[in-house]
Amino acid sequence: MTFKKESYYTVVAKAKDMVPGFRDAFSQFEERVVLDRCSKSLVTNYGRNVAHLALHFGRVPHEVSVEEVNSYLYHQSVHEGFSESYFKQTVFGVRYWFRLFGKDELALKLPVIKKDKKLPVVLSKEECKKLFVAPRTLKHRFLLAFAYSAGLRMNELRHIRINDVDTDRMQVRVRQGKGKKDRYVILSKFIAMKLPKYLGELKPETYLFEGQTPGMVMGERSIQYVITEALQKTDIQKAVSMHTLRHSFATHLLEDGVDIYTIQHLLGHSHLSTTIIYLHIAQVLPKVGRSPLDTLYGF
């Protein structure tokens, strides 16, 4: 049995009703992910995928052998068309579940997920300009420019409040970004200049970018639609998403001479190794070093 096209809530509800012990086990899972401060998307992906597995075997996941899990993964990938991301999330979800129920040795035997070595897509500065003027509405133009200007993740962008934008200190507060960390990012002079007109025309109540309901955040699909629609009005042929603007922000900073440690901080990366990937993309000319002896004597 497969339930790939069903929603998280439908699949989990079915597993709770049909699989002995799953209801209580899933309650423990929900408690644990809250204590671990996991993101909502992680909970949804892990929960849905372990529920699929439980329904397939008719048993709680920690009672399924590694051999059975691997066979399930193989069958779903080859015969049911598991996407790469779905496969990865299933492995991560089952591994998390195994460890939750004291099956660490089984977690270690699951397939190793290798990190993709593909370089991210990046827009040139000219392509960014084309993209930012493409939308017909002020809200959409401002949203795309703002996302790029601060290198924000989509969820960070959605939750920027009006009072997070500090035009005196020229910075933007990012609340509870990835890893549940607050940080400050740069506020563009261009954005600060356009902000009064944006606020005057759109009149948002709480969040800078609100949906149809005043005071409520704009939905992820709505934001993705903004960039998809804008791209259709340009001649840009690259595979672009909202995250492409973040990649472009980091790459352009590097090309403008900003050091990698500052970029790491602005992006909110916990590890420098995550930021270093932009060194492989940026078109930066090597600098010829000078001997410190010459600088001592003014040469």
Residues contacting 219, CB < 8 A, separation 6+: 158, 211
The CATH number of the structural domain formed by 125-280 is 1.10.443.10
Q: How confident is the model over 148-152, as a mean pLDDT?
A: 94
Residue among 23, 99, 139, 243 flagged as catalytic: 243
Tokens of 106: 């089984």
DSSP 167-209: TTTTEEEEEEETTTEEEEEEPPHHHHHHHHHHHHHH--SSBSS
pLDDT band at residue 3 using 50, 70 and 90 as cut-offs:
very low
Residue 285 has pLDDT above 60, yes or no: no
* 56: annotated active-site residue: no
Tokens of 136: 């017909």
Q: How confident is the model over 172-197, as a mean pLDDT?
A: 87
Residue 289 has pLDDT above 70, yes or no: no
Beta-sheet strands, E only, within the chain: 165-166, 171-177, 181-186
Tokens of 289: 């070093």
The angle at the Cα of 228, spanning 223 to 230, to the nearest 5 degrees, equals: 95
DSSP 61: G
* 278: annotated active-site residue: yes
Q: Cβ–Cβ contacts within 10 Å for residue 169, how many?
A: 9
Residue among 278, 280, 287, 297 flagged as catalytic: 278
* 178: annotated active-site residue: yes
Residue-level pLDDT at 277: 83
Q: What is the mean pLDDT of the chain?
A: 87
Residue among 178, 203, 265, 287 flagged as catalytic: 178
CB 85 within 8 A of CB 45: no
pLDDT tens digits, 82-129: 777 888 888 898 999 999 999 888 888 888 777 666 788 999 999 999
* 27-36, 43-52, 106-115, 143-152: range with highest mean pLDDT: 143-152
CB 208 within 8 A of CB 161: yes
Closest to 206 in 3D by CA, of 248, 250, 159: 159
Residue among 52, 95, 246, 247 flagged as catalytic: 246
* 45-49, 117-121, 160-164: range with highest mean pLDDT: 160-164
* 246: annotated active-site residue: yes
Residues contacting 202, CB < 8 A, separation 6+: 138, 139
Total residues found in the chain within this entry:
299
Residue-level pLDDT at 84: 79
* 243: annotated active-site residue: yes
CB 203 within 8 A of CB 115: no
Q: What is the pTM of this model?
A: 0.64
Residue among 4, 32, 194, 269 flagged as catalytic: 269
Residue-level pLDDT at 201: 95
Residue among 56, 140, 153, 252 flagged as catalytic: 153
pLDDT tens digits, 54-90: 999 999 999 999 899 889 888 888 877 777 788 888 8
